[in-house]
Amino acid sequence: MINRVTILVMDSVGIGELPDSEKFGDVGVNTLGNISKEMGGINLPNLVNLGLGNIDKIEGVKKSLKPIGSFGKSKETSNGKDTTTGHWEIAGLYIEEPFKTYPNGFPEHIISKFEERTGRKILCNKPASGTEIIERLGKEHMETGNPIVYTSADSVFQIAAHEDVIPLDELYEMCRIAREILMGEDQVARVIARPFIGSPGSFTRTPNRRDYSLDPFGKTVLDKAIEGGYEVIAVGKIVDIFNGKGISKDVHTKSNMDGVDKTIEFLKKDSKGIIFTNLVDFDAKFGHRRNVKGYKEALEELDSRIPEILESLKDDDMLIVTADHGNDPTYKGTDHTREYIPILVYGKNIKAGVNLGTRETFADIAATISDILNIEKPQYGKSFKDLII
Ligand SMILES: O=P(O)(O)O[C@H]1O[C@H](CO)[C@@H](O)[C@H]1O
Ligand SMILES: [Mn+2]
Ligand SMILES: [Mn+2]
């Protein structure tokens, strides 16, 4: 009997291009495979032991002769390769219409409303890489007090500000104002607070980032779990991605390892339902920064914590290790990449060595969880419970 499912999202750890990746500008992308190739291998003994290398046509990791978990991969059906789309699909939604993006910056009517309501003029208003843009405009921002507003290939309105220039409370309030403006016709998927500290030449972003999402477009497996009397615990930015919907308890994290620590703390306590963790460093610190070595080391760091996670699982626990999109650090540009995601499933009462094959949608994860917890299924997804129990 499984009473609790933990979903561990390794943010951006894709495992190869999808049949439709080219439409997203992505050819030959493979986050895990290309990292391993460029670094001359990657050492992930514990993920390999779970079955990572046994996934059909995966590259860059060794096969295990006797994996202790079951394994598969999934296509993304939604039209997007962003975090919101990926997580919402994992939770049982299908996003047909891609979220609106602003490759030329935000139009005048948005910016003027924002400036009027916040009482501050803005800098930038272009797509940019977050670390580069604070290097370039941070000094001017400190001198003028004007926040740096930028976007990316994703549907995001990001506000970067020095914590000593615009206090966090004010920055968060500015984000709430932007969130109100960016609805309806001008709906963006996320407004993001990007606070930083330091001096010109050595600025660093702080963990006080906050994401202001939209409400999910339909009921997710998280909502259904709560309706079914279960508890849903969100670790990391999950609470932001779902705008608090379908979540009973949440905790933000400072880093991947803090995310692992907090997940283990919750695993050790008694609860029934879902623990949903996002480990964002892979994406934010290494994928977007095209830092191949850093990405490899972060993967190895997570791998070294896997035994501890497995030891914390109770008999009625099930663990799913997966991802939300790719972010191949060897690829051109600084954006996400459209890729298959891995699915590793483990539990003391879950079958080992089963190949779940290639799933058509990330929503199969939601369907399987609903089936296992015996709650109403979300609209999309096909359960693979019968293969693993
Ligand atoms: O370059 P930074 O600020 O990290 O931006 C990245 O983070 C945003 C949200 O995940 C994405 O849109 C991506 O471009
Ligand atoms: Mn992501
Ligand atoms: Mn990202």
Return the ligand 1 atom nearest residue 194 CA. 3
Domain assignment present for residue 199? The answer is yes
What is the model's pTM? 0.94
- The answer on 372 and 232 residing in a single domain is yes
- The answer on 224 and 79 residing in a single domain is yes
Domain assignment present for residue 32? The answer is yes
Q: Name the closest-CA residue to atom 4, ligand 1.
A: 130
Q: What's the CATH code of the domain at 247?
A: 3.40.720.10
| String of DSSP letters for 258-296 | HHHHHHHHHHHS---EEEEEEE-HIIIIIITTT-HHHHH
Ligand 1 mutation target, pool 212, 288, 290, 334, most atoms within 8 A of CB? 288
Q: Which ligand is nearest to the CA of 85?
A: 2
CA distances from 51 to 72, 135, 227, 320, 327 (A): 9, 42, 33, 12, 22
Find the 325 Cα to ligand 1 centroid distance in Å: 13
Domain assignment present for residue 155? The answer is yes
Task: Mark which of 213, 240, 256 sits at the end of a domain.
Answer: 213
| String of DSSP letters for 24-61 | GT-SS--HHHHHHHHTT----HHHHHHTGGGSTT--SS
Residue 87 is labelled as binding a ligand: no
- The answer on 222 and 149 residing in a single domain is no
The single residue listed with the structure tokens 């409400």 is: 215
Domain assignment present for residue 101? The answer is no
- The answer on 40 and 180 residing in a single domain is no
- The answer on 31 and 53 residing in a single domain is yes
Return the ligand 1 atom nearest residue 334 CA. 14
Bridge partners (DSSP) listed for residue 234:
250, 276
pLDDT in tens for each of the 389 residues of the chain?
A: 999 999 999 999 999 999 999 999 999 999 999 999 999 999 999 999 999 999 999 999 999 999 999 999 999 999 999 999 999 999 999 999 999 999 999 999 999 999 999 999 999 999 999 999 999 999 999 999 999 999 999 999 999 999 999 999 999 999 999 999 999 999 999 999 999 999 999 999 999 999 999 999 999 999 999 999 999 999 999 999 999 999 999 999 999 999 999 999 999 999 999 999 999 999 999 999 999 999 999 999 999 999 999 999 999 999 999 999 999 999 999 999 999 999 999 999 999 999 999 999 999 999 999 999 999 998 899 999 999 99
Query: Six-digit token pair at 298?
Result: 């972060």
Q: Give the pLDDT confidence score for residue 378 in this predicted structure.
A: 87
Q: Name the closest-CA residue to atom 5, ligand 1.
A: 130
- The answer on 366 and 242 residing in a single domain is yes
Q: Give the pLDDT confidence score for residue 160 in this predicted structure.
A: 98
Half-sphere exposure of 26 (CA within 13 A, CB side): 28
Distance CA 29, CA 32 (A): 9
- The answer on 66 and 178 residing in a single domain is no
Distance CA 134, CA 273 (A): 41
- The answer on 228 and 198 residing in a single domain is no
Q: Give the pLDDT confidence score for residue 251 in this predicted structure.
A: 98
Distance CA 78, CA 81 (A): 8
- The answer on 271 and 203 residing in a single domain is no
- Interface confidence (ipTM) of the complex: 0.94
Contact 378, 221 (CB under 8 A): yes
The single residue listed with the structure tokens 């079955």 is: 51
Q: What's the CATH code of the domain at 153?
A: 3.30.70.1250
User: Is 339 touching ligand 1 by the criterion CB < 6 Å?
Assistant: no
Domain assignment present for residue 100? The answer is no
Which residues span the domain enclosing 175? 108-213
- The answer on 271 and 195 residing in a single domain is no
- The answer on 67 and 28 residing in a single domain is yes
Number of helices (H), then strands (E), belonging to the chain: the values are 13, 14
Task: Mark which of 213, 229, 264 sits at the end of a domain.
Answer: 213
Q: What is the number of structural domains in the chain? A: 2
Domain assignment present for residue 189? The answer is yes
Task: Mark which of 213, 234, 249 sits at the end of a domain.
Answer: 213
Domain assignment present for residue 231? The answer is yes
Domain assignment present for residue 377? The answer is yes
- The answer on 76 and 135 residing in a single domain is no
